[in-house]
Structure 1
Amino acid sequence: MTTRDRLLGLTVVVLWGLNFLAIHVGLEHFPPFFFAGLRFAVIAIPVLLFVPRPRVPWRWLLLYGVGFGILQFAFLFTAMRTGMPTGLSSLVLQSSAPFTVLLGAVFLRERLRGVQLAGIAVAMAGMAVIGWDRSHHAALLPLLLTLLGGLGWAFGNIGSRLAAAASAAVNPLHLTLWMAVVPPIPMFTLSALTEGPTTGWNAVIASFSATGRPAIAALVYIVALGTIAGSGLWTYLMSRYPAGTVAPLSLAVPVVGIAASWTFLHETPSVLCLFGAVIVIVGAFTATSAGRRAPAVELDTPGPLQPAETTRRAELNPKLAEV
């Protein structure tokens, strides 16, 4: 991974780490399923009107939207609403990194170098240190829900990788924006069935009062910076590198999330927790420094491939070469 792209990855880490504060504020006002649907609906409406749909297969776009948009945030928002501490949720959600590496190896047949595996192991050890230190702050159910959110994120990563690989000309920002079209209707339906048909809309009306303005500010941050900017950069990186190279970057998100929750929510971390955060940073950047660029592969190129081109694509990604 180039220095510039690693800096872009670091930008995503900061945006997503602070995003947990915005989620915390929003969930104090909105019910979780409705809030998840609302954050994507705000994006989806102008996207449908003004942004051309990227020329990628619908199945990969749906996988991206269902995994990243529905499963991740339905589970995460529910976990945080039921008592998952903000800082700890930013840590446990990063289980998406090893989940993504595993799914990438199984479904995309991506080869992992030894130094990548070592870096992931170090980062996971740091996560284990933080989790062991802070696990007494969360009940079992919120922890399990957050882990399921991480698994959903991993499936979304695979979907975005396959969608980007389907066309060399795909615009990562357009892909991210069109992913947001998938979650709103399912999430609003789930909200109506479980939270009540009018609960979320009443919260929207109340958000324009003085007490509800922080929730509006949180929604703006989540939409503009957490989703459009952060997810757009993330999709760009996933389109340039194997999933196993990009995914470990997310392991550094808890460092920002825990620091932010310490500063603004007074969730004070221990010395052991801070030590684990340092280990996470070292492991994540060791893992990302090992991968080389993997150019996107066109899946629907007309006409037969030349033998040399077939061999080159097979070396880049055997699974995609068979499609």
Structure 2
Amino acid sequence: MSASPAPLTARSLGLALLITLIWGVNFVVIKWSVADVPPLLVAALRFAVAALPAVFFVPRPAIAPRLLWSYGLAVGVMQFGLLYLAIQLGMSAGMGSLLMQTQAFFTVLLAARVFGERVMPWQVAGMTLAFGGMALIGLTAGHDVPLFPLLLTLAAALGWAVSNLIVKSAPGANSFGLVIWSALIPPLPLALLAGLTAGWDTLGRALTHSDWTFWAAVLFMGLGNTVLGFGIWSGLIQKHGAGRVAPLSLLVPVFGMLSSALVFHEGFPPGKALGAALVALGLALHVFGGRWWRQKPAL
């Protein structure tokens, strides 16, 4: 019989807050890094750094090759490739960090379709609020929140949801090993797409003329955000349970929006602020609604 998860300690809570801070600030780092370098190249470098040399020290996860490849493409090309492109095209770091959390809703809907999982009433309520908020943000789309980057960000969140379903299809696979080994897959297709869209000369100049601050940003995204962040987060979930740790990820967009406001002076006019508040409220209801909602039959 397995031991029950341990309660969160002050040290574990501090580590969880540190990781959510890193993940939130990462959106600002992405915004800065893609300003002068093709976004798909930046994404390729991020995953190359995350994979090497870690794959020599982390065991390969017990997962079928097709699932490993599917996960790598869903996370690397669809999720982060589209996210980096959206941010380069005008999506703000703060709004990007918030809208990416809609992966929770896409995951529920896809799991209901693919695995026949039940959708609970509080999840429906949360999705309704959040998608209403996104509709409001879309209606106010313009210079502040361009429509096409908004759609790309939602497509990136969908890619995240697809990767969640792939993980569900491989129970027992070591999650940290899955992240490290799957990071070997995205660099080549991302680099090829970057060369075809931006031009090989542009890629060459970016690789040879970028200064140390750009490479520091790549190291932060690959090692700090992916390897260190996911490694600590996985350990916290294994020790304390997903129910105690996972809801803390709602702090990621909080740190993302705060850091974007500080660094890029991102503003929140009334329509955008109300839409963001509805999305955040919907996410909170989705995560905590099971504790608040009176038990009713599933939909």
- Which TM-score bucket, shorter chain as reference? 0.7 to 0.9
Tell me the percent identity.
38
2:202 to 176, 194, 199: 199
Does 1:223 find its partner at 2:222?
yes
CA distance in 1, matches of 2:184, 2:255: 29
1:92 to 76, 96, 99: 99
Structure 1's 274 and 147: CA in aligned 2 closer, same or farther, altered over 3 A? closer
Structure 1's 134 and 229: CA in aligned 2 closer, same or farther, altered over 3 A? farther
CA distance in 2, matches of 1:114, 1:195: 46
Does 1:283 find its partner at 2:290?
no
Aligned to 2:167: 160
Amino acid at match of 2:189: P
Does 1:184 find its partner at 2:191?
no
Q: List aligned pairs for 1:36-75, cutoff 5 A.
A: 36-75=43-82
Give the secondary-structure state (helix, strand or coil) at the position aligned to 1:29: coil
Aligned to 1:28: 35
Amino acid at match of 1:218: A
Give the secondary-structure state (helix, strand or coil) at the position aligned to 2:116: coil
CA distance in 2, matches of 1:213, 1:94: 31
Structure 1's 249 and 26: CA in aligned 2 closer, same or farther, altered over 3 A? same
Aligned to 1:172: 175
Aligned to 2:115: 108
CA distance in 2, matches of 1:69, 1:285: 27
Deviations 1:109-165 (A, max 9, x none): 2223222333343344444555555655233332222222222122122222323x1
RMSD: 3.5
Superposition TM-score, scaled by structure 1 size: 0.72
Deviations 1:4-43 (A, max 9, x none): 4996876654333211101011112321111111110112
Structure 1's 235 and 55: CA in aligned 2 closer, same or farther, altered over 3 A? same
Deviation at 1:251, TM superposition (A): 6.2
Aligned to 1:316: none
Larger RCO (CA within 8 A; separation ≥ 6):
2
Amino acid at match of 1:173: F
Deviation at 1:255, TM superposition (A): 3.3
Deviation at 1:204, TM superposition (A): 2.5
Query: What stretches of structure 1 of length at least 5 have no aligned partner?
Result: 293-323
Give the secondary-structure state (helix, strand or coil) at the position aligned to 1:215: helix
Aligned residues, how many?
A: 281
Query: What stretches of structure 2 of length at least 5 have no aligned partner?
Result: 292-299
Q: List aligned pairs for 1:74-85, cutoff 5 A.
A: 74-85=81-92
